[in-house]
Each structure stands twice: as structure tokens, then as C-alpha cells.
Amino acid sequence: MHFADEAEIKVQAGNGGNGSASFRREKYIAKGGPDGGNGGGGGSIIMKADENMNTLVNFMSKKHYKASHGQQGFGQNKYGSAADDLILKVPVGTLVFDKESDDQLADLTEDGQQVIVAKGGLGGKGNSNFKSSTRQAPDFAELGEPGEVKDLKLELKLIADVAIIGYPSVGKSTLISHISNAKPKIADYPFTTLVPNLGVVKVDQTDFVVADIPGLIEGAHEGKGLGIAFLKHIERAEILVHMLDLSREDLLDDFKKLNLELSSYSDVLSKKDQIIVFNKSDATIPEIIEEAKVNFKKYKPLFISSVTGEGIDQFLYRLKDEVLIHRKKKRAEKPKDEHKVFRPHIDIPDAKNFKVEKEGKGFRVSGKRVEQLAIMTDMTKKGGIFRMHDILGKIGAYREMKKLGGTDGNKIHIGERTFTYMDLT
């Protein structure tokens, strides 16, 4: 399978259905009142983390995703159906960014976690909602609200309990193939591994995920080798296994240089716990092993052979103990989360939260709720336009415009809608 850890897509939530401007018409009833029902809400676009996925390759071929629109309302106070949400499954560890603002919208780090990245539009209210003692026969209904449209950037950072790092050809792929179900390509030359390999390791009753991170060499954080493409995947791991090759000439220098690459890329990486593992102990003279024990004494290093399996059991039990310690710590720190989906529009402020500014010879009224009301106003109906003017009067927008010198005929801009100033005093 092709490994893809970045993608750009466009998402378009569904529009809300229009409300109905209907009047009751029945035999023997001369003056039936308004009976238009509400439109249904548009479908939202939801990102959901799925542990069965490990790449963003599906988003490389298909770039545009649309949710369905809500159904329009009907007469006899019948509501239109709400559209289903469109759920896009992504790997656990996916970050979602708004491409235009570069704001982070989501960090999906657990299986089943989900978030709405584009909200479906509200359904418009039917004319039966607008009947009052002074408005007996409203000829208008609300339009459905347009769904959100966004350009998104997706970035995958692998979720692994343990990341194995080290220079090329130190035996990382051989080790992960020995201890897990991963089947990486293995050969005796640099950069055999071109993508991260993930394997599930089981020690007694404890399962954990180990990742083999390829391509780290001196200068990796500047783009040398393959490291710049994969350094980000180490950030999620709780534990780093730093593998060193006993056949190399200066082990301390190798260790310091690779740690410099980690700290140069991210402060987070420089602070992670490391388990130091020396590989190829089967092909090394005892004097070199003793020298490594002395030089790396404070790290309590382990000595293994990825080929023969020497020292592997001790290594795995050390990993298991460290993983359980980190899991216990995370459980203590993390509040319970039932992965509820945030529903759109609940947080829309009251219409009185607005701002009036001069714009040319007219005014611009801004505010989330008032802009929503404006876009849902049916400009083809006189009653709808008068309702919008009535709202501007009640929330105090006309009073603010009058203080700024507003007079009849001035243009009022709200979002993409334009109205004409009417002095209601």
C-alpha cells in the first residue's frame, strides 16, 4: 500500500432546506392561515479517527467531498427531512487544518474520536412561525442556510507507543520484523526502509505498537536523507528506542549527532525517554561491548542481536514495563471523553452581539447571528425584507447607524446581502 501522510481536500457541507410559505386551503374553510413547515438541516462533514486505517492515500485521488442538502418544508406544517452527515474516516493521529487560515481544527488521537469540520446549514423556518397579532398572513419563509465550504490540509503523525530510531542499516527493520507482525523490506544498504513500518508487539498480556522510523542521518532536520519526512512521526511516540550499531567506529559521536537532530527539529523530541540498545552483539568482540557499557552506563543500555535473537527477551520486557508506566501516567492525566460530536450552531451568539461600521456612503453590520439571519432572508418577498428591517430595529442596529449619520436610502451591508436604510423612528 502506498504510504501518504499529507493531503489537501475541499469539503462542502449541505445547505439547509428552505422553509415553506404555504397557506391552509380546505373546503368550507374560507380563510385558512399560514401552514408552511420548516426545512431540514443540511448534512455536516465529520472527520472520524479509525484505527483500521494507517495512511491518507484515499484522499490523494478524491479531493472534493459534498454532504447532502436538507429537504424543503411543505404545507400543512410538514417539515422537510434533515440530511445525513458525511463521515470521512481518517487514520488515528490525523491533524486537520483550515488551509486558508492555517488554524488547527482537530487532532484525532483516539479511535472513534470525531469532529465536525464543516457545518451543515440550518433549515429555514416556514411561514407558520411568523404569524402574529400584527402579521396575520406572512407571505414569506426563511431560506435554508448555506453549508460551510472549506479547504483542508490533513497531516498524519503516526500513533505508536515506541519509535525505533537510529542511523540507516543499524538493524531497525530486522528488529521490528523479529518482535512484531511487521514485514519490512530488509537489505544491507542505506535507506532500505522508505516508509515507517508499524508492528504490534505482544508481551504476556500487554500489546503495544512499535514504529521503525527510517532515514535519520546527520542533517535530517534540514532535509538531508529521508529524515525530514519522518521526524514528525516520532513526536507521538511515548518512548524512543535509540539503536546503535556496535560495528561503527564512534558510538558516542553517533549518539550525540542523532540526538542533536531530534532537538533541532523539536523540543518535544529532545525531552522524550530513550532506551539505548546496541545491536550486532553477536558479531562484536567483548572489549567493545565493555567499552559501550562504561560510556553509556547512566542509560542502562541493552545489548541484542536482531539476527540471532540474543537479548531480545530482556529488551521486550524492558519495553513492556516502560509502556505500562506511560499508560498509567496518561490515564491519570486525561479526563474521560465519550467522543461526542460537537453539533453546529449551538454556539451562535445572540443577535444583539453585532457591530456597525461606516462603509463608503453606507454601513456594514457584522455579527454571527445577524449575518445568519440576513443570508436566510428571502429577498424576493416584501414581508421577508420588512422582517429583516424589523430585526435591525429591535436589536438596536438602526439606532447605532443613526448616531453615525444614517438616513433613508443609505446602503446596509450584512455579509453578502445589501439592504436599504429605513428610518423606523
Where is the domain boundary, 126, 156, 186? 156
Residue 279: other Cβ atoms inside 10 A: 26
Residue 347, in any domain of the structure: no
Are 308 and 402 in a shared domain?
A: no
Torsion of CA 385, 386, 392, 394, to 10 degrees: -150
Are 198 and 135 in a shared domain?
A: no
Hey, which of 1-15, 119-133, 226-240 has the most confident mean pLDDT? 119-133
Whole-number Cα distances in Å, 176 to 29, 189, 210, 244, 249 = 81, 17, 7, 15, 24
The 10s digit of each residue's pLDDT in 332-349 is: 876 555 555 544 444 445
Cell numbers linked to 26: 380546505
What single-letter DSSP state applies at residue 23? B
Of 267, 266, 50, residue with least CA distance to 159: 50
40 neighbors 70 (Cβ within 8 angstroms): yes
Are 96 and 151 in a shared domain?
A: yes
The 10s digit of each residue's pLDDT in 3-39 is: 577 899 999 999 999 999 988 877 666 567 898 999 9
Are 43 and 170 in a shared domain?
A: no
Residue 343, in any domain of the structure: no
What pLDDT shows up at residue 349? 55
Kind and range of the H or E run holding 206: strand 206-212
- Chain centroid to Cα 413, Å, comes to 33
| Ranges 94-98, 167-171, 193-197, 385-389: which has the least confidence | 193-197
Are 48 and 101 in a shared domain?
A: yes
- In this prediction, residue 2 has a pLDDT band, given cuts at 50, 70 and 90, of very low
Residue 350, in any domain of the structure: no
Where is the domain boundary, 156, 189, 214? 156
Are 398 and 375 in a shared domain?
A: yes
Are 170 and 148 in a shared domain?
A: no
* Tally of domains in the chain: 3
Are 302 and 201 in a shared domain?
A: yes
Where is the domain boundary, 122, 156, 190? 156
The 10s digit of each residue's pLDDT in 75-93 is: 989 999 999 999 999 988 8
The 10s digit of each residue's pLDDT in 151-202 is: 999 988 877 889 888 888 788 888 888 887 655 444 454 444 446 677 788 8
Q: Which residues contact 237 (CB under 8 A, 6 or more apart)?
A: 160, 161, 162, 163, 211, 272
Residue 208, in any domain of the structure: yes
Question: Which residue segment(s) compose the domain that 87 sits in?
Answer: 6-156
175 neighbors 184 (Cβ within 8 angstroms): no
Strand stretches in 217-300, DSSP E: 239-245, 273-279
> CA-to-CA distance for 76 and 410, rounded, in angstroms?
40
Report the CATH number that the domain containing residue 298 is assigned in CATH: 3.40.50.300
Are 28 and 149 in a shared domain?
A: yes
Are 200 and 280 in a shared domain?
A: yes
Residue 76, in any domain of the structure: yes
| Ranges 68-72, 186-190, 300-304, 383-387: which has the least confidence | 186-190
Are 121 and 196 in a shared domain?
A: no
What pLDDT shows up at residue 191? 43
Are 311 and 181 in a shared domain?
A: yes
324 neighbors 318 (Cβ within 8 angstroms): no
364 exposed, middle or buried (CB, 10 Å; 0-12, 13-18, 19+)? Answer: middle
> CA-to-CA distance for 379 and 242, rounded, in angstroms?
67
